Structures are given as structure tokens and as C-alpha cells.
Structure 1
Amino acid sequence: MNDLITKLPGQPHVNLRQFAGYIDVDENVVGRSLFYYFVEAEKDPMTQPLTIWLTGGPGCSSVGDGFGSVGPFIVTKDAHALQTIFFLGTKLLFSTIKCYSTSMSNLLFIDSPIGSGWSYSNTSSDYNNGDDSTNKILLSFMQKWYDKYPVFKSKDLYLAGSSFAGHFVLNLANALLDNNKQSKQSKFNLKGLVLGNPMLRKKLDDLARIDFFFSWEMINSSLYNEIKKECNVIDENNYFSNIKTTWRAKCKNLMYEANLAAFKTDAHNYSPQKLFDVFRAPSVENEQDLNLGKQVPKVSTEVDMCIPLRVQFYFNLPEVQKAFHGNRTNLSYRWKGCFTASFKYNEADKDLDMLPALQNLLQQSIPITIFSGDQDGIIPTMGTLQHLEKLAEELNINLTKEETWSFSNKYEFGDLLKFLTVKGGNHHVTSSRPSQAFSISKIFTINWMH
């Protein structure tokens, strides 16, 4: 109860309980702690499952994602208050009546790895993160979090996340299953996974971006063919042995040239943020207007592109940090949604092949739903579909169903693997197409897996 949140600044009244605080993940190391935010389901939380949300980056705050898209709250246009999320049809509306995500599950957000959000260590080397170290710390967090909230260990558990969570979620899921085999005590009751725009094979995703540009006529055939000739050195059938392949200088220059050509810009005006949503311009507003009490929205085809800016402003308010029980060590840097100055991640781990991890989970009968926004230039839909087709081939699983769904296409590989594309969704489908993301989580994850 020490972690119970009385009320967050600017929060409307809701019929649910919230908790936030730190879990010390290693009793042998003083000051190695992950920050978490936990929201009970609004109705009968003791009968609802637990969903863990991990945001990618690597180095982005999962807790911040809860206030930018996932729920139960979203930061208002002046960044000084919160609104709850409610759906009507396919448009995102705001209401004080219902929190959509907590209508079907308890929600746990974990800032991981060390250096994300308010998670910290007093040992500087802990900020040099990688897949293995991150996974070990997450497993320790889970064990200690359940010690703190033992009533939830018997509940059905779902792991979810976006982007580089394609590494985090898959690695953690396998670690939980391995722990179940070795432990004589109560087991982790893992029921399924849901991943949005997951990074599974980064180098092939980089190449898929070029295919994406060409399919939308954003680059010409001459540049496309030159890139395919110069950069086609990754073996789809033997990706793992080729992850250390480095692009030649000419290949990297051509890929950068393709980015400039696709957005009809030059090096001075180009921002990598454009790749997160290739058809909507990123927010160029700043915090100065918010300091003056102004509203900072930038709505482009029903999507507010300034939400991350407002979340960052809100989380740096002293009264917000106090209400969250956050920043207990008065960190030397400001809260950022992604990539604090001290954060580091092993570059080689970003290129790792995650298909073996996916395969291992499917072979242990863990259902997996993957969705992908079709406007994402970071991890294009066509690349993810190719990865899953390759995985199905290796597992001798047929594409059992392909159909047009209410907002795009749905693919089913056997009984355990589903892939849905989301029309108009960008790299963060939960933000750009929230009602569709909710439908996927509810219909194709929790309901389907039951």
C-alpha cells in the first residue's frame, strides 16, 4: 500500500486503483531498480488477467507509453492534466466514463532496461544494456513483483509490447517458461503474447523499407535497383550467421539517399522521426508553449502527433513525480520518453534473429498475435509478413487463412499465430489507431486465447 497512488495531478475520477514505485531487482547490488506503474482492472480485478506492457526503443519508457496511447489515461492538450480513453466506432474520443484498456485486464507497465524512464542503477556499467542483461533483470523483477503482489501470480498472464519489445517480450516469455520447468514453486501462468510492429530481423527490415518506398512510388526504379544490387548481402535462409554483416559505405549512402528522396527533402531538413509515420509529418512543437499554458496538438488525419511531447512535459512536473513516487534518487537528467543521455544498448543485439525465440514459444503452444501499421517505415508490414512466412515454412505450418478484416488484412498461420495489418497505423498503432489496437487485444488476444 506504500505504492498506492492517491491521485495523479489533473486526473479525473475513476473507479480503479493505481500503484507505482520501484522494485529492487538485485539484493546483492545496492541501487539497481526498475520503476513500474500498475493499474487494476476497473471491474472485479481479482477475476481479470494481468497484462504486462513493454515498450521498445530500446530505451523508451513503458510507463510513459501508458499515458501516450495504451491507457488508462492520456495527457491533455495543455499537458497539465489527464483524460480517460473511451471508444465510439473507430474514432478516439475522450470521456471520464471508462478506461478502455482496464476494462478487460489489469495492466502492469515496466520501465526497462536500466536507464529507461525512472529506472536506475548506482552502478554506471548497468547502463550498458543488452538482450541478456535486460532479460535477467526483467525475470528478477517479475519474481519480486509477484512477491509484492502475490494474489496476481495465479492470474492468467499476457505479455504485450511494441517495436523492440519484439526482443524484450519474446525473451521474457521464454525465460518465464524455462523458470516454470526448473521451479518447484508456483508457476508463471503465461497464456499468450501480443506484439505491435515488432523488431524481429532488423537488417532485413532495413531492406524491406526500400521495398516499401518503391511500392508507394516514393523512390524511382533506378535508385531502388541500385540499392538492391549493392545491399543485397543478407541471406534470408541463413540470417543468424550473417548478422555481423556490415553494410558497405556505398550501401549505407544509398539507403540514406532513399530516405531523403522518399520524403522529398535534403540532409538539413531530414529527421529520422519521419520513418515512424511516412505519411504524417512529425510534431515540431516544443515545450515552451506548454510552459506558457498553451495547448499543443497537431492533428494529422485523426492522429495527434504531439502526444509524446506532452507526455514528456507532464512527467517532468515535480508534482507528477511526487504523486508517482518516481525519481526517488533525483536523477541528473530530465525524464524522457526515449533515449536518455546515459542510456546505451549493445548494437549487435539489435540485429539478432528473433525467429528462433518465436519458434520455441509456438512449439510450447503459446498463442501469439502480431499487428503492424501499414504506414510504418521503421519496421514495414511487408518485412514482418516475410519473417512470419519464413517461420511458418521452418515449422511446416501452412497459411490457413488470409482475409480482409474490418480495417485491413488478417493472416492465420496454423492455430497459434495470427498477423494483422492495420490500415493507417504507424509505428505506434496504439497511438495512431487505438480502437483497432484495442479490438486486436480484446478479440484476437484475450478472447481468442481463452
Structure 2
Amino acid sequence: MEKRVPMVLLLFLCLVVSSSTSSSSEGGEEGDRIRSLPGQPKVSFQQFSGYVTVDKAAGRALFYWLTEAAVPDPISKPLVIWLNGGPGCSSVAYGASEEIGPFRLNRNGSGLCLNKFSWNSNANLLFLETPAGVGFSYSNRSSDLFNAGDQTTAKDSLEFLIGWLNRFPRYKNREVYLTGESYAGHYVPQLAREIMLHNTRAKHPINLRGIMVGNAVTDNYYDNIGTVTYWWSHAMISDKTYNQLLNTCDFRAQKNSNECETAYSYAMDQEFGNIDQYNIYALPCNKSDGSSTIIRQSLRLPHRPRQMIRQISGYDPCTEKHAEVYYNRPDVQRALHANVTKIPYKWTACSDTLNRNWNDTAVSILPIYKEMIASGLRIWVFSGDVDSVVPVTATRFSLGRLKLATKIPWYPWYVKKQVGGWTEVYEGLTFATVRGAGHEVPLFKPREALQLFKSFLSGQPLPKSS
């Protein structure tokens, strides 16, 4: 977990940024072209990265990284925007570097290797670090880092997209899809709603066609009930603790009772054991690897944003550490046109400062789902079924409140003649599980995640056989 940024550094940041140029970001796309990244294998697709200013008065600028489709005619493919959650976590650190991007980081940040299951085999991928304060994104106004929230993030993300499309006009009429995971269960629908509102008054509307979110924070009450149920049903807690949590916790409240806190603390300290809650069957990153360990506050009830801050483990349980080595290298930052204002703190995968000062979080995203369904957007929600932080039960409980009619009943879907998970198609929404996947589905099950993505883009149900 990132250490809190001292106020003196934030004040220094204001002085440094305001006296620096923004970057190549205010010019055309050519200034953002990536020639090659340090340690990068040869690729056939184009890459661009840089900044788009979203608030000139405040000096807020968001960082992006575009990896175009690895096909002969990338202009024929849609634009897919990926957002990571936290809030305060970087889409470059997670989505781009260990999930759906074209590269994987070598151990200790020494270079890059190719990801054969990259989603840019089917789409142009735009990774956005939002809000300001995440990753390389910044603000001249230090108060922005202490007053972040859902509404500002959605509005700034829309301003980014408008500005980015002006810089890349060849994408203006392209199909656009919004994707993400975790607290992006807020970001993605909220940005979709901002785009829909923008389109009602825009001369050139954004061609938004759909959204897809995974292990997504959706509704405080039903997410919490579903999480406690998952812990019990997967033998992580005792019957006694389960009943105490149900009887003493008000899952709608922002502050828990002492009795609830006691039951919760006992579960975390005495019953969970040394596991990775983001994949209860994976090995955690050991202290000897120099990485952060599980912090009990990361799973506070009810679900609030700070639960998402910590490293995610997977096949390499220390991937976050490798990212923080690689993206702090000066040669990497130069190649990415990043950190041009010389931010006086290290790039980190997640910002503890933003997370601890998140002052605006929606209680439920379900009303936005109803708006998106009414507008005809394609909506897919998926869930890795061994994540205990935003587990499959939480998502099913939340989506159940929409009371949607079933079009295609529950069935197993397949990849390489193996069950990839289970799915049900409703009127206006498709839900799918991914068998054996943790919180970051593409990290643990990359082949299955790619199939999920292909089916989503095509608008076709997941395969019943393979």
C-alpha cells in the first residue's frame, strides 16, 4: 500500500507543476507517439501516451496509454476504454501491465514480454489513469487530492474523452465500449451516464455502444450481504461469526457498531488466516519479497472504497512490485511522455492519499443500470468466483434487485472444451462467472477472459461448447 503523501510535498507539487509545461498533450497525436518502450519486444501495432488537460484553472491533467489493435486495419476495430478502481489505483499498473494489455512485466521491472491473450487482438485499448492523483495523472491544486469522489471522476473522465477524441479525430465515429473492474463498478456506469447526457446536447455525440465490468462494487447493502455470505459459504468464517455479523452489522450504515467491529475483527484476525482475499486459493506475496501484506482495514464493512487498496496476487503474486520498479524508471517515463512535471513522489500502483480522502461515493449504482438498459446499451457483468472482496454472491444479490426477465437460462460456457464459468442472459444484461478466477479475472484466467471479451464485442452469448 502506498504511503500517504506528505502535505509539504503536495504544496511543492503545486509549485513545480504550475511552472512546468503540460507535455505534448496539447498538440496532435504525433507528439504522443511511443517509439518503443525500454525492454519492449518488437510489435506491429502503434502506441501513444500522454496527457489531456481536463481543468485548465485547476491544472488537472489525466494520463492515458493507447495500444492500437494488432491487426492490419486497426481503424476497423472499436475503441475500448479500461478503468481500474480502488479508488486510486492505476489502469497502467493493473489493466495494462498484468491483465488485458499487450505486455507483461518481467520480474523486478527489467523489461516487457508479450501477452498472447491481450485484448488488443480485437480492439484498440485506451488505458486511463483517473482521477487526478492516480498514477501519472496530476493536479496543480493539492486540495483536489483531498477532495476526490465519484462525481468529479466521472466529469473529468468525460472531459478527457472529449479532449482525447479531438486529438485523435480518426476515432470520433468509432464504436466505444467502457470496461473495468472493482471500484470501476462505479466509474464505468457513471461515465456512461455522463456520456449519455453529453450526447443529448452534443453536435458530435460519442458512439457509446456498451459497458462491461468485472467483480464490480455495485450496491452497498447487497454487496455487503453477499460478501459475508461468501465468507461463510466458503468456510472462511465460523457459523458463530457469520451469525454475529448478520445480527450486529447494519450493512447500510457508514459506521459500524462496536459489536459489528468486534465480530469483523475476530473473523479477520483469527479465522481468515494468511490468505489473499482477492483470490482465496492463490499464494499471497510474501513479506520477504518486499511487498505489502494484507491489511485488515482493507475489507472494512460496509463496502467502502478503501477496501480495494492492496496488491493483487496471481500467477506471480508480486506483480505490483514489478510495476512500481518499471514505471519509476526515468527511461520508461521518457518513452511514455509521463511525469513531465516532475511530481515529487514516486509513481505507485495505488494512491493511499486519494483512497483515504474519497468524499463522494454512491450508495448504489443500480439506478444507473436502469438508465443504461432503457437506453439500449449492451451491458455485461462478470465475476471471478474465488474473489472474497467483491465476490460472485455480492454481484448476484445486487443484480437480482433489478428483477430482469430471463432470456437464456443459466448454463455453463466453455473454452477449449473446459467449463469457463456459468452465465445467464437477461433482458438488457448478460451476467457471467469465470471459474477459478480471482478479483482480476484476466490475470488469473486470461484465455477465458479473452473469450468473454470477444463474446461481449460480438453481442453473442458465450459458447455452450468448444
* TM-score, structure 1 as length reference: 0.85
Matches within 5 A, 1:325-336: 325-336=337-348
Match of 1:32 in 2: 60
Match of 1:284 in 2: 286
Matched, 1:157 2:179: no
Native 8 Å contact 1:286 1:309 kept in 2: no
Structure 1 residue matching 2:383: 3-state secondary structure: strand
Match of 2:149 in 1: 130
Q: Which amino acid aligns with 1:442?
A: K
**Which residue, 399, 405, 413 being the options, matches 1:397?**
405
- Rounded to whole Å, the distance in 1 between the matches of 2:213 and 2:134 is 20
Structure 2 residue matching 1:160: 3-state secondary structure: strand
Native 8 Å contact 1:34 1:120 kept in 2: yes
Structure 2 residue matching 1:5: 3-state secondary structure: coil
What's the offset of the Cα at 1:281? 2.7
What's the offset of the Cα at 1:52? 0.3
Cα–Cα, structure 1 residues 145 and 167, in superposed 2: closer, same or farther, change >3 Å? same
- Rounded to whole Å, the distance in 2 between the matches of 1:209 and 1:389 is 15
Cα–Cα, structure 1 residues 120 and 397, in superposed 2: closer, same or farther, change >3 Å? same
Matched, 1:225 2:255: no
Native 8 Å contact 1:156 1:190 kept in 2: yes
What's the offset of the Cα at 1:182? 1.4
Cα–Cα, structure 1 residues 375 and 164, in superposed 2: closer, same or farther, change >3 Å? same
Native 8 Å contact 2:84 2:180 kept in 1: yes
What's the offset of the Cα at 1:342? 5.9
- Rounded to whole Å, the distance in 2 between the matches of 1:27 and 1:129 is 17
Residue ranges of structure 1 left out of the alignment (5+ in a row): 88-99, 235-241, 266-272, 290-298
What's the offset of the Cα at 1:253? 1.9
- Rounded to whole Å, the distance in 1 between the matches of 2:355 and 2:254 is 25
- Rounded to whole Å, the distance in 2 between the matches of 1:177 and 1:110 is 19
Structure 2 residue matching 1:404: 3-state secondary structure: strand
What's the offset of the Cα at 1:17? 0.8
Native 8 Å contact 1:115 1:340 kept in 2: no
* TM-score, structure 2 as length reference: 0.82
Match of 1:355 in 2: 366
- Rounded to whole Å, the distance in 2 between the matches of 1:314 and 1:148 is 28
**Which residue, 384, 402, 411 being the options, matches 1:373?**
384
**Which residue, 315, 339, 348 being the options, matches 1:303?**
315
Matched, 1:117 2:117: no
Q: Which amino acid aligns with 1:175?
A: E
Residue ranges of structure 2 left out of the alignment (5+ in a row): 1-29, 292-311, 415-419, 462-466
What's the offset of the Cα at 1:246? 2.6
Q: Which amino acid aligns with 2:261?
A: K
Listed one character per residue, the Cα deviations across residues 128-179 of structure 1 (whole Å, up to 9, x for unaligned) are 2101111111111111001100110100000000101111100000111111
Cα–Cα, structure 1 residues 286 and 82, in superposed 2: closer, same or farther, change >3 Å? farther
Matches within 5 A, 1:232-243: 233-234=250-251, 242=252
Question: After the TM superposition, which parts of structure 1 deviate over 6 Å for at least 4 consecutive aligned residues?
Answer: 286-289
What's the offset of the Cα at 1:204? 3.2
Structure 2 residue matching 1:264: 3-state secondary structure: coil
Cα–Cα, structure 1 residues 157 and 366, in superposed 2: closer, same or farther, change >3 Å? same
Match of 1:252 in 2: 261
RMSD: 2.1
- Rounded to whole Å, the distance in 1 between the matches of 2:430 and 2:357 is 30
Matches within 5 A, 1:314-353: 314-341=326-353, 344-347=356-359, 349=361, 352-353=363-364
Q: Which amino acid aligns with 2:208?
A: L
Listed one character per residue, the Cα deviations across residues 27-55 of structure 1 (whole Å, up to 9, x for unaligned) are 333x2100010111121111110000000
Match of 1:85 in 2: 115
Cα–Cα, structure 1 residues 101 and 245, in superposed 2: closer, same or farther, change >3 Å? closer
**Which residue, 183, 188, 192 being the options, matches 1:169?**
188
What's the offset of the Cα at 1:221? 1.3
Match of 1:57 in 2: 86
Matched, 1:193 2:221: no
Q: Which amino acid aligns with 2:77?
A: Q
- Rounded to whole Å, the distance in 1 between the matches of 2:160 and 2:437 is 32
Native 8 Å contact 2:87 2:354 kept in 1: no
What's the offset of the Cα at 1:327? 0.8
Native 8 Å contact 1:374 1:426 kept in 2: yes
- Rounded to whole Å, the distance in 1 between the matches of 2:287 and 2:116 is 26
- Rounded to whole Å, the distance in 1 between the matches of 2:220 and 2:321 is 27
Structure 2 residue matching 1:2: 3-state secondary structure: helix
Q: Which amino acid aligns with 1:263?
A: F
- Rounded to whole Å, the distance in 1 between the matches of 2:329 and 2:316 is 22
Listed one character per residue, the Cα deviations across residues 203-253 of structure 1 (whole Å, up to 9, x for unaligned) are 43233222112112222212211221112x34xxxxxxx4x5532121122
Match of 1:238 in 2: none
Match of 2:31 in 1: 2
Q: Which amino acid aligns with 1:191?
A: R
Native 8 Å contact 1:218 1:261 kept in 2: no
Match of 2:426 in 1: 413
Matches within 5 A, 1:255-266: 255-264=264-273
Native 8 Å contact 1:9 1:319 kept in 2: yes
Q: Which amino acid aligns with 2:285?
A: S
- Rounded to whole Å, the distance in 1 between the matches of 2:357 and 2:78 is 32
Structure 2 residue matching 1:313: 3-state secondary structure: helix
Cα–Cα, structure 1 residues 250 and 445, in superposed 2: closer, same or farther, change >3 Å? farther
Cα–Cα, structure 1 residues 311 and 212, in superposed 2: closer, same or farther, change >3 Å? same
Match of 1:239 in 2: none
Native 8 Å contact 1:201 1:352 kept in 2: yes
- Rounded to whole Å, the distance in 1 between the matches of 2:199 and 2:141 is 30
Listed one character per residue, the Cα deviations across residues 63-97 of structure 1 (whole Å, up to 9, x for unaligned) are 2220122211110124211011115xxxxxxxxxx
Native 8 Å contact 1:210 1:258 kept in 2: no
Cα–Cα, structure 1 residues 194 and 342, in superposed 2: closer, same or farther, change >3 Å? closer
What's the offset of the Cα at 1:361? 0.2
- Rounded to whole Å, the distance in 2 between the matches of 1:10 and 1:228 is 51
